[in-house]
Each structure stands twice: as C-alpha cells, then as structure tokens.
Amino acid sequence: MHGIIKGTKKVMFHRVTYLLIAFLLQIALIIGVLLSFQAYFVIFYGLSILLSIAVVVWVINKHIHPEYKLVWVIPILLFPIFGGLFYLLIAQNRVSRNARRKMGHLMEQSNEVLPKNEDILKILDDNNRDAANQIRYIRDFGNYPPYQNTKTLYLPTGEEKFEKLVEELKKAEKFIFLEYFIIAEGKLWNKILDVLKQKVKENVDVRIIYDDVGCMLTLPKNYHLTLEAMGIKTCVFNPVIPVISSLHNNRDHRKIAVIDGKVGFTGGINIGDEYINEYEKHGHWKDSAIMIEGAGVWSFTVMFLSLWDYLRDEVEDFLPFQYEFSAVQLQNLQKSPGIVQPFFDSPLDGETVGENVYLNLITKAKKSIYITTPYLILDHGMLTALTSAAKSGVDVRIITPHIPDKWYVHKVTRSYFGMLINSGVKIYEYTPGFIHSKTFLVDQEYGVVGTINMDYRSLYLHFECGVWMYEVASLADMKKDFFGTLDKCHQINFQDVTGASWVRVLGRSVLRLFAPWM
C-alpha cells in the first residue's frame, strides 16, 4: 500500500503532470473566451469561418508536404470555430528573427572552418558520378564536407557501443562533448557519469546537451543544475514551458559523442539501460551505432559546438578544438578505404536533408536496399521511391519492430505493408522485440547510420544527424548484421496483410490520416 501511495504522489507531483494541467487549462480558457461571445454568435461564427477558410487557403499554398497539409485541413474544416486558431497556435514552425540570425551566423562560422575537399569530388566525378552527386548535395545543403583518412567502426548493439564509448571516454585528455535526445538515470548513466566526474577533476572540458522533452520522464527537474555543480557544463535543448506553442515541435533528436576531436559516435542509441538490455522494455532492444576516427570527426566537433553556442548565445573559436593527428596517425588513417561524410539536418532551414539523403540512395540503387527503422511512416515520395525500386528488380528489404514502443505508430507502420509487399518490397518484423536502429545499406557500396527515423517528425521537425559512407570497410559489417538480424525476424507476407479484419484495416487507415502528428 505504501508503494502505491508513493507512486501515486510521484505521478501527481511530476513535472509532466503540471505541464499537462497547464496546457489543458489554457485550452479551456481559450474555448471559454470564444464561447463567451455566444451573444454575438452569428458574427463570431462568421469570423471563425472566415479565419478557418483563410488558414486552409494558406496551408494549401504553403511549401510543405501534401500529407502534412491534409492532416490539418481535415480538423480545421471539421471544427471551423477552433480549427484555424489552434493551427496558428501550435502548428507553425515559428522562429524569431534573432534566432534565425544567430543560427545563420553560426552556420557561416561553421562553413569557414570546414574544408571543402574539392579533390574528392574531382576524382569521383570521373569514377562514380552518382556518388559525387550525393556527396555534393550533402555538402552544399547539409553544410558538411566529405572526408578520406577516416576509419569507421560499425557497432551492431547498444552493449558494444557503450563498451567502446566508455573505453574512449576514459582516454579523454582535452574535451568530451555529449549530445543525446534521452539520458536516463540508471546503471549505464551512472557508469558514464563516474567517468565524466573523474575527467572534470583532470581538467577535461566536459559538456552535455540533452533534450528537455526526451528527458522529461527520465531525469529529475533542473538536472542540468546538478551536472553544473559537478563541473559538467550543460545545456537543455528547447526547455518546455507551460504555454501552448509550436516551438515545442522542434526537438534535438541527435545522438553525438566526441572525444578530443579524435573519435566520434552517432547512431540510434540514447543513454538508458534499455539500450543495453539491462532490463526488458519492449522485448529485446536491437540498436546500432557508428564510431569514426580521423579527419571526419571534425564535422561532429563543429556540429556540436554550433548548437552549443546557439543555446548559450556565445561565440567561440572552433579551431582550438580540432585534433592534430601525428604523422604516424595520419599514415595509419590513410590506409582507411572509402569516403565518410557526417551530416546535419535542421527543421529551420526549409531543406529536408535527411529525407533527400534517403531518397538519393533509393533512387540510385541498382542491386539492393537494406533498411532498418523503428517507424515506417512514409510520405508519397518515399513510398513511390521504394515501390518503384522494387518493381525495377532491386532487392528491397526493410526490418521493423514486432513489439512496438508506441502501439498507434506500429499500426500506422503496418498500414503501408500491403502496398509495399504488393510491389515486391520484402518486409520483416524483428520477432524478439523492438528494433531501434536507423540504417541504410545500398548495393553494398553506400551506407548511412544515424538518428533519422522514417517518419514525419524525424524528417521534418527534429534536429538530426548521420554518417553517409561510400566504399568503407564497415559496410561489410553492416551487411553481416542485417542478415544476422533477418534470422531473428518473421517475414510479413501478403496473406498476413489481407487476413486482417475490416475493423483493424479501418482503424489503421484512420490513424494513417494523422501520421504527420506521430
């Protein structure tokens, strides 16, 4: 009984509870104010209709994806009194001029310190124009260049990633940069935190960025102050305030670790015990990451510092953080084959870099496309690209979870299976549990490991990152992991799809209408 009371109090006084109450009160207040005009109902109703019509016309003419337009046009037309107003309050991607100015200045600063590496493009223009075009797009619109002299190490599980991360953290001499969507208190975080506190004592510059929404249920309130008291510099990305605002839509979904500018990590793995299967959350948790060492780490260093300075409203010289490799190290790195290109996707620049990187890979594929993703919520362009590739004879295989973390997202994911399978795409569900890795492997020549889910939030609303690779040794390891994971999967056939009841099919179809909100 004591445990139940304690748990109830914890929920009642949790920050999320306060925020939810605040949001509901604001919605009730808005509705109450609007209804108070009922004495002037005809005038009020007419103005509301005009506002909703104006908003619908505006949405239809905006340069956004048709599916995102549809998901707002329907409720606005169904609820004309409140629909237009709520769209203006919560659906806009509003950023102040000052914020855009700061971000623009930091991007300019990044471009000044990042190399162009034109020699790589010149060679590829003659040898592989498809690769050159993809690299050029990422460099020009994702703002980060290609690199040679960079080793890659594919890490197929959370357990292996964090064993390697802790090993590298212990070697840190100058700085440690960590940026994660979720940091959760537990065995894993305690182990990392012990290393970070020791490094602070050794005068290592330790900095952490975590997302406020991502950590709302996993860290205590004002945890950044606790870390600052330990000597760990901390920024909280986009803190949630109890005010209805579209600003809450943009989250920092990146997972980046940089040690001394020498090695860097990214991938799908956050810091939490479920990622190393310390406890079972949604069955067995399958994830992956990539570690890079060498010249390409500089992009991750700049990526982190740009966001850090934006959040802190600071301007610092990035160049002192660039690692100077010795002659022996350079000679060793020069033996690393292939090209590595870290990239960054921002929802503030109007360029959907993550989606376009995926589309470029799909449309250029000649033999095979192997994908792992926790969410498969596709817009028309992505769906057309995948089905067209399969119809053209490309071996397209996609692994998704069998045990979901969000039931409604899982149902929407399954709503695409019929069209994909009917076009020749092979769909698999990871039987032991939940697969959270976000990987692309194309023709065994190209690969991407990053943070970008195949859903609307990752592709259009979140800050994301990844590593694009061409002819690197790790691609063989990615293929081995993919087919090893297939052995633990159940292939979905057309009978599985057509055998669903009409109620289930209808439910999935309705949920799919609202996919851009998921």
Distance CA 377, CA 394 (A): 21
What's the DSSP call for residue 306?
H
User: Which one-letter amino acid corresponds to residue 308?
Assistant: W
- Report the candidate in 149, 215, 151, 202 with the shortest Cα–Cα distance to residue 176: 202
* Backbone conformation region of residue 324, classed left if phi is above 0, alpha if psi is from -120 to 50, else beta: beta
Distance CA 366, CA 307 (A): 37
User: Which one-letter amino acid corresponds to residue 174?
Assistant: K
Are the C-beta atoms of residues 194 and 264 closer than 8 Å to each other? no
Q: Is 277 exposed, middle or buried (0-12, 13-18, 19+ CB in 10 A)?
A: middle
List the beta strands (DSSP E) in 317-456. Answer: 339-345, 368-372, 395-401, 426-430, 433-435, 439-442, 446-450
Distance CA 328, CA 476 (A): 27
H or E stretch including 217? none
Structure tokens at 366: 């000649």
- From residue 31, alpha-carbon distances to 22, 50, 82, 150, 246 in Å are 14, 18, 8, 57, 18
The distance in angstroms from the start CA to the end CA of the chain is 37
Enzyme catalytic residues: 253, 255, 260, 436, 438, 443
- Tokens 């295989």 locate to 397
Residue 44 burial (CB count, 10 A):
16
Are the C-beta atoms of residues 251 and 181 closer than 8 Å to each other? yes
Distance CA 383, CA 359 (A): 10
Distance CA 169, CA 282 (A): 29
User: Which one-letter amino acid corresponds to residue 99?
Assistant: A
* Cβ-defined contacts of 31-39 (< 8 Å, 24+): 31/82, 34/81, 34/82, 34/85
- Report the candidate in 508, 406, 411, 486 with the shortest Cα–Cα distance to residue 441: 486
What's the DSSP call for residue 203?
T
User: Which one-letter amino acid corresponds to residue 59?
Assistant: V
